[in-house]
Amino acid sequence: MVGESSLELLANGQTPERYLRNIGTIGLAGQERLLKSRVAVVGAGGLGGLVVELLARMGVGYLKVIDGDVFALHNLNRQVLSTEQNMERNKAQIAAQRVKSINSDVQVEPVAEMLDESNGERLLKGMDVVVDALDTFSSRMLLGRVTAELKIPLVHAAIAGFAGQVMTVMPGDKSFDNLFRSKPPANRGIETTLGNPAGTPALAASLEVQEVVKILTGTGEPIRNKLLYFDTQYNLFEFVKLE
């Protein structure tokens, strides 16, 4: 069983040492909840790489990492799982190796495929939360449709330059449809001009991880029915209601 030893310790009211610094925030029950949870991360680039890393360290018991792409030199500025040694290697496979080296409590399943109409439901069925770490509008809209149909919470983020956005979409929420009510004319946004410097995906990915932890443990308040849009060039953080 995944994380059996840690789960056994938790069942006896003991704290596995590796989670000592989690417990003050999420409690023993929250840690147990994470270890019994299943999360899919769709995309293992700038956002997804760090999301996978942090969820593995938090102790989410099952991670499915979906990405058919391979690492390239232009990923090295920001994608934490890319190294000079793993160029041309599949991102999901590298993510799985990384998870195994971090936390043996975590069962990780790499999927070296892009999410599409034919595999979406099969790949995401049974997940407790799905994380959007994609990089096109069309793939995000597909992900939004599939998670809505499967009634799975979706944590969305997107980035460009100094800017980014984060939102949690719970089953039945209209916020994701509202966000993409007007489909952007191109399949990518202003990142085609601004690029993606290192700090922006790290910021958005960290916020996504906080959303996942809040959803799974039931603590706090997710960024729901509103979009957090950050623009750190001028330290702007805006919430846009999308109910």
Partner 1 sequence: MLVEIRLYATLRRHAPTAALGVLSIEVQEGSTVADVLGIMNIELAEVHIIMINGVSSSLDIVVHNGDRLGFFPAVGGG
* Contact set with partner 1 (CB under 8 A): 43, 45-48, 132-137, 140, 157-165, 178-179, 181-182, 184-191, 193-194, 196, 200-201, 227, 229, 231, 233-234, 236, 238-242
Which residues neighbour 31 within 8 Å (Cβ) at sequence distance 6 or greater?
A: 6, 10, 15, 16, 19, 22, 23, 59
Give the residue with the Cβ less far from partner 1, 142 or 194: 194
Query: In this complex, which beta carbon is closest to partner 1, that of residue 19 or of residue 230?
Result: 230
Q: Tell me the Ramachandran region of residue 199: left when phi exceeds 0, alpha when psi lies from -120 to 50, beta otherwise.
A: alpha
Minimal distance, residue 49 CB to partner 1, in Å = 10
What distance, in Å, lies between the first and last C-alpha atoms of the chain?
A: 40
For residue 73, the minimal CB distance to partner 1 (Å) is 17
Q: Minimal distance in Å, beta carbon 158 to partner 1? A: 5
Q: Which of 184, 220 has the CB closer to partner 1?
A: 184
Q: Are 138 and 168 in contact (CB under 8 A)?
A: no
Distance separating alpha carbons of residues 199 and 178, to the nearest angstrom: 28
CA neighbor of 95 nearest in space, from 158, 166, 41, 152: 41
User: Is the CB of 34 or the CB of 134 nearer to partner 1?
Assistant: 134
CB 168, min distance to partner 1, A: 16
